[in-house]
Amino acid sequence: MKKDKVSSGLPNTYLNVPHDKLFAVRVADGLDAVEGRDGSIIIGDHRSADYKGVRNTVHFAMNGVVSSHAYGQFDGGFVIVGNLMDMAKANPQSIGGFSAADTWFHRDENGEVSVPGAVLFAPEGAEIPGSITANGVKVIQYAVVNEDVATARDAAVRDYLENVARAPARTIKMRGWAEADNFGRPEYFQELAGVAAAVGAENTVAVTTREGQTFRLLPDSHDGSFDERIESAFAAAVVRLDDLESANKSNIYARDSENGDAPLFETVQERIAALEREIQSPDNPSSPKVAVYYKRKLDDLADRAGPQIDRAKAIRQATLDLFSVEATAGQINVVTNTRAMDSLAHDEGVVIDVLEGSLSQRRAQRVQRLESSLTAEPQEPKRASGLGR
């Protein structure tokens, strides 16, 4: 890897920081998804059970603790720090994007990201999982003064970076380091390309500068990236599935307000189908093992949705059977199936007045189609083509 980097003429520094002095820093509110394993910290996926707000990526800042801003609160007392180059080796082809303010890794097929040689920072007195203390992970506990966790936390991390790791500590702003101007310098693209080459990134994109130079770079913003699209699609499917699961029997077939005419269960099906199309897209930059992880989560989501969709379909069909439209001598009549109504009300507890109101639109559509067929001008039958004319 080093020979390729040198022969390509790319720098081995990023904003004057050598690659081996780049440290990934992650703030956490708790340690429920964190464990120790062979001297490494393993960041798991504690939200995989219900998929609420699920993120398929794990995010870090470089050489500093990210501060709270308009798009997120980072007040947690726990911090995980690991060397970026070591992480790239432990998680091959898993780095999804790189910038000083936001560097992210894809989870592997087990939903994990490994931080080898990690250091865990925690407030004094905080409970540390036994798997961490028993597996050789270094833990630094810091004293909190006047309940100001963030100040004590940031000072502890800075002290470690500067005096133990012998790496520069930086102040993280929205788009990068406060101590460096990232933008507008032609050499900045070379530095980004150098990082992408050093970590062995596969999901790079070609960027051409105003000077006509082309470099292969990692995405530098999670917004609009493939990963963000995947996560948004998961969230959209989960929200509608939550709605479907919480719906009572009288509105389980109700229309989706965001999609107008589409029944709610059809929206859930479409969201899951859209997610599968996104994962299988040729534009998917993730490695095969990451794609396996995405697919497994999709299958789990589909399994969860299946019984709810089947239940909704059955209730919806029963409600549609309550009313039929028939034409007699040019007159259109809406006929109520009393037996079906009594059965549905008894078996499913459906409130009939709510039910009838929700079907008004579909009934109107069926009447309109029948009216159109009755008033349509008769057409001459088409002559068959072929031999025998």
In a domain, 116, yes or no: yes
Angular region, 322: left φ>0, alpha ψ -120 to 50, beta rest? alpha
Q: Report whether pLDDT(195) > 90.
A: yes
Judged against a pLDDT cut of 80, whether residue 385 lies above it is answered with: no
On whether both 314 and 337 belong to a single domain, the answer is no
Question: Is residue 211 assigned to a domain?
Answer: no
Query: Does 76 reside within a domain?
Result: yes
Residue 333 tokens, joined: 């009549």
Rounded to whole angstroms, how far apart are CA atoms 380 and 283?
Answer: 50
d(CA 21, CA 29): 26
| pLDDT for the residue 187 | 84
Separation CA 87–CA 105 (nearest Å): 9
Residue-range definition of the domain harbouring residue 294: 226-319
pTM attached to this predicted model: 0.73
Q: How far apart are CA 138 and CA 157, in angstroms?
A: 13
88: nearest Cα among 137, 175, 20: 20
Q: What pLDDT score was predicted for residue 45?
A: 77
pLDDT mean over 30-37: 91
Q: How many domains does the chain have?
A: 3
User: How much is the pLDDT for 357?
Assistant: 45
355 in the same domain as 307: no
Q: Please tell me the predicted confidence (pLDDT) of residue 5.
A: 41
Residues 37 and 147 in one domain: yes
